[in-house]
Amino acid sequence: MSTTIAPLAESLPLFIEQQHPSAIAVLVDNHTARHCYPLVKSLLPKHMLIRIPAGETHKHLGTCETIWAALTKANVDRHGLVLNLGGGVIGDMGGFCAATYKRGIAFAQLPTTLLSQVDASVGGKLGIDFQGLKNHIGVFQLPDAVLIDPAFLQTLPPRELRSGFAEVIKHCLIADANEWDRLRHYDLDDIDWATTVAHSVTIKEQVVAQDPTEKGLRKILNFGHTLGHAVETHFLHRPKGRLLHGEAIAAGMIMEAYIAFRKGMITDLHLEATEEYLFAVYGRVPLTERDFDPILAHTLQDKKNRAGQVRMALIDGPGRCAYDIPVSKSAMREALEYYVGN
Amino acid sequence: MSTTIAPLAESLPLFIEQQHPSAIAVLVDNHTARHCYPLVKSLLPKHMLIRIPAGETHKHLGTCETIWAALTKANVDRHGLVLNLGGGVIGDMGGFCAATYKRGIAFAQLPTTLLSQVDASVGGKLGIDFQGLKNHIGVFQLPDAVLIDPAFLQTLPPRELRSGFAEVIKHCLIADANEWDRLRHYDLDDIDWATTVAHSVTIKEQVVAQDPTEKGLRKILNFGHTLGHAVETHFLHRPKGRLLHGEAIAAGMIMEAYIAFRKGMITDLHLEATEEYLFAVYGRVPLTERDFDPILAHTLQDKKNRAGQVRMALIDGPGRCAYDIPVSKSAMREALEYYVGN
């Protein structure tokens, strides 16, 4: 795999020339069809467009069937190429469909959101939601290329940008104490995105290279995600109050930083600095006592558990992270109470 | 991966001890639940049973959803183990479900048919049918173990045994001229199965080890399968006249041997010896001129094609096979005519 951070006008034609595919399919959703595809269309030779509805609620098997059927109808063969133009949903689902179509054809991620540029597009986690469980069905498979064009970030609503920023913060918290000290004095408006994206991608790539299928070290990338995913899943099931991934992860990072503090892994000062910055950027997710039990139930489906016991990645001092730490249900409940009451 | 040919009473407890899974799920169909599971049950610690209907017509996404849902409901985690007890459908689909559940958990193939012992269980091709196309959705993923117990062959109906034998013949034709010369003088009743299975598995393993994801050499294992699969798919769509995989492949091998002969790759003597033995063992699939067009249409979906052109693996002298040979539609039609008229 190669990750390139450059204007697509440079990187995409070069990649296509190297790949020499027998057919090209571009996967888009309603948003990227309108805002991103026009910037890509003229850079490509003859290709087909597969368009799906936008949003996490469509990240399921039914949409995969639509994608597989479109590839089949166009007689795309094993030497075909799928270009996933969009955010994490497009990348995860389009990658999964490509990795399983005829037992796997080439695909490239063209991430258009900050979240997918610094996280989803890098590292080869592919998949879909199943029975309301996030990324429950999927595979590990590195894309043939990740082509990141920071220009796409200008097309994003501010709330989407802020959501992706949570993974940037996470990368600093788990792996770069200096960058964390620098970052936490910045407003979102002050960020130089090209540099920040490059830094974040480098951290993630270094971790993934050492442990592609998450047997060990890679689990540190899940800091904030055990409770964060559970909060996110909980909100998926609620009719109102849409919560973006990064907003849920920001909440999860505060909760899990608290657990790390209670286990003596970080100081009270580090906990305070972390939660202060995250609350300042993201505010507080509106949770009440009644939400705790369903959220705790969702943690039981976390992919990092073993034999029914929740195991977390927890920051272990500034810029460091440990993993596979068993965490009891009562400790998680206490963290939820801390988050709500603090 | 390790392949063991031994009584399961020896191999299975040892594997479970090494694997030390957090949970065990045994996947069976109606047949293996009755005939095979009783032989396995007492060898296992606590486990769950997932039972699906038997047959290729159930090798689809809907059945995968049943399997994924059963694993989810039992809270099977990433350290769980799936044991696929059955023929090719169970192995291909159960393997696919395990390889995609939480992005992949451990699985072992416990093949109970000759076909799955000498072919499907070895080599890590997993998948399901989609829109009537065989194995159209899937992945390459080697199982954590293949545990072959020849005792299961005694539970098989003779027609199933004969079907699997087609792959044994194929392995000799493509890779072992001496064994082919020996084999073609035997009746099905004379075969020593333990030795024959071991020989066939060794050939397949050697080929797969050199090219796990079928970029090149592995394609020779598809001899007889381009037209064979097309014939098999054609019969899937017909209400009556069930055709077993090996029966279709036997027909495909005759057709493709004829194409090899017409291309000057094998002598008329080798063609005659091949078709004589295959017709003697399998008889002739009842095809008429009207079947040709739909069969030829199915070859367009073959996974080895490139840019709409059919490419075949063709025997190239006794015990040898070439691959990626372009074959025209008219050459395939001629082969169908030869098969029907000969």
With contact defined as beta carbons under 8 Å apart, do A29 and A90 qualify? yes
Q: How confident is the model at residue A2 (pLDDT cuts 50, 70, 90)?
A: confident
- Backbone phi, then psi, for B295, in 5-degree steps? -65, -45
Q: pLDDT at residue A131 above 60? A: yes
Q: From A133, which residue of chain B is nearest by alpha-carbon distance?
A: B72
Residues B64-90: pLDDT tens digits?
A: 999 999 999 999 999 999 999 999 999
Does B223 contact A at CB distance below 8 Å? no
**In terms of domains, do A106 and A235 share one?**
no
Report d(CA A103, CA B230) in Å as an integer: 18
CATH code for position A118:
3.40.50.1970
Cross-chain residue pair A79–B130, CB shorter than 8 Å: no
With contact defined as beta carbons under 8 Å apart, do A76 and A25 qualify? yes
Report d(CA A46, CA B315) in Å as an integer: 36
Number of Cα atoms under 13 Å in the Cβ half of residue B4: 17
Torsion of CA A5, A6, A8, A14, to 10 degrees: -90
The pLDDT of residue B136 is 95
Structural domain harbouring B265 = 158-341
Does B51 contact A at CB distance below 8 Å? no
More confident: B21 or B239: B21
Mean pLDDT of A22-49: 96
| H or E element at residue A195 | helix A193-210
Residues B251-291: pLDDT tens digits?
A: 999 999 999 999 999 999 999 999 999 999 999 999 999 99
More confident: A216 or B132: A216
**How many CB pairs below 8 Å do chains A and B form together?**
105
Q: pLDDT at residue B337 above 70? A: yes
Mean pLDDT of A109-115: 96
Cross-chain residue pair A72–B131, CB shorter than 8 Å: yes
As a whole number, the mean pLDDT across chain A is 94
User: String of b and e for A167-183 (b: at least 16 CB within 10 Å)?
Assistant: bbbbbbbbbbeebbeeb
Residue A20: exposure state from Cβ atoms within 10 A (0-12, 13-18, ≥19): exposed
With contact defined as beta carbons under 8 Å apart, do B100 and B135 qualify? no
DSSP helix/strand/coil, A253: helix
Report d(CA A256, CA A244) in Å as an integer: 18
Q: How confident is the model at residue B312 (pLDDT cuts 50, 70, 90)?
A: very high
Length of chain A as a residue count: 342
Q: How confident is the model at residue A155 (pLDDT cuts 50, 70, 90)?
A: confident
**In terms of domains, do A308 and A179 share one?**
yes
Instruction: List CB contacts (< 8 A) between B214 and chain A.
Output: 103
Cross-chain residue pair B305–A77, CB shorter than 8 Å: yes
A275: which 2 tokens? 């939660």
Mean pLDDT of A224-251: 90
Give residue A320's Cα distance to chain centre: 20
The pLDDT of residue A88 is 92
Does B79 contact A at CB distance below 8 Å? yes
Cross-chain residue pair A125–B103, CB shorter than 8 Å: yes
**In terms of domains, do B313 and B208 share one?**
yes
**In terms of domains, do B292 and B168 share one?**
yes
Q: From A141, which residue of chain B is nearest by alpha-carbon distance?
A: B103
With contact defined as beta carbons under 8 Å apart, do B92 and B68 qualify? no
| Residue that is last in its domain, among A106, A128, A155 | A155
How many CB atoms within 10 Å of residue A212? 15
**In terms of domains, do B191 and B325 share one?**
yes
Instruction: List CB contacts (< 8 A) between A126 and chain B.
Output: 103
Report d(CA A91, CA A114) in Å as an integer: 13
Report d(CA B118, CA B298) in Å as an integer: 26
Residues A275-295: pLDDT tens digits?
A: 999 999 999 999 999 999 999
CATH code for position A179:
1.20.1090.10
Residues B175-184: pLDDT tens digits?
A: 999 999 999 9
| Residue that is last in its domain, among B155, B188, B214 | B155
Q: How confident is the model at residue B233 (pLDDT cuts 50, 70, 90)?
A: confident
DSSP helix/strand/coil, A243: coil
Query: Which is nearest to A48 in space by CA: A10, A76, A14, A69?
Result: A76
Does A107 contact B at CB distance below 8 Å? no
**In terms of domains, do A327 and A223 share one?**
yes
Does B137 contact A at CB distance below 8 Å? yes
**In terms of domains, do B124 and B212 share one?**
no
Does B323 contact A at CB distance below 8 Å? no
Instruction: List CB contacts (< 8 A) between A300 and chain B.
Output: 75
The pLDDT of residue A199 is 95
Residues A40-68: pLDDT tens digits?
A: 999 999 999 999 999 989 999 999 999 99
The pLDDT of residue A23 is 97
Report d(CA A28, CA A179) in Å as an integer: 34
Mean pLDDT of B148-158: 92
**In terms of domains, do A149 and A167 share one?**
no
Report the DSSP beta bridge partners of residue B51: B28
Residue A85: exposure state from Cβ atoms within 10 A (0-12, 13-18, ≥19): buried
Mean pLDDT of B165-178: 97
Mutation for testing the B interface, residue in A137, A142, A229 having most B CBs under 10 Å: A137
End-to-end CA distance of chain B: 43
B264: which 2 tokens? 């000057």
Report d(CA B256, CA B250) in Å as an integer: 10
**In terms of domains, do B142 and B163 share one?**
no
CA distance A284 to chain B (A): 30
Cross-chain residue pair B308–A140, CB shorter than 8 Å: no
Report d(CA B149, CA B110) in Å as an integer: 8
Does A138 contact B at CB distance below 8 Å? yes
DSSP helix/strand/coil, A132: coil
Maximum separation of any 2 CA atoms in chain B, in Å = 60
Q: How confident is the model at residue B100 (pLDDT cuts 50, 70, 90)?
A: very high
Does B61 contact A at CB distance below 8 Å? yes
Instruction: List CB contacts (< 8 A) between A305 and chain B.
Output: 77-78
Closest by Cβ to B99, choosing from A23, A75, A139 = A139
Does B306 contact A at CB distance below 8 Å? yes
Query: Which is nearest to B21 in space by CA: B108, B122, B121, B85?
Result: B108
Percent with pLDDT over 70 in chain A: 99
The pLDDT of residue A1 is 53
With contact defined as beta carbons under 8 Å apart, do A168 and A186 qualify? no
CA distance A322 to chain B (A): 19
Cross-chain residue pair A303–B103, CB shorter than 8 Å: yes
The pLDDT of residue A236 is 80
Percent with pLDDT over 90 in chain A: 87
Mean pLDDT of A306-325: 93
Q: pLDDT at residue A183 above 70? A: yes
Cross-chain residue pair A69–B131, CB shorter than 8 Å: yes
Instruction: List CB contacts (< 8 A) between A101 and chain B.
Output: 136-137
**In terms of domains, do B176 and B207 share one?**
yes
Which runs of E-coded beta strand occur in A30-72?
48-52
Query: Which is nearest to B173 in space by CA: B81, B75, B275?
Result: B275
Percent with pLDDT over 70 in chain B: 99
Residues A186-196: pLDDT tens digits?
A: 988 889 999 99
- Backbone phi, then psi, for A116, in 5-degree steps? -75, -25
Measure Cα distances from A84 to A51, A279, A341 in Å. 11, 33, 41
**In terms of domains, do A136 and A182 share one?**
no
Instruction: List CB contacts (< 8 A) between B71 and chain A.
Output: none
As a whole number, the mean pLDDT across chain B is 94
Mean pLDDT of A102-126: 95
Q: pLDDT at residue B1 above 60? A: no
**In terms of domains, do B207 and B300 share one?**
yes
Count of domains for chain A = 2
| Residue that is last in its domain, among A106, A139, A155 | A155
- Characterize the bridge pairing of strands B125-130 and B106-111: unpaired
With contact defined as beta carbons under 8 Å apart, do B211 and B13 qualify? no
Instruction: List CB contacts (< 8 A) between B100 and chain A.
Output: 100, 127, 137-139
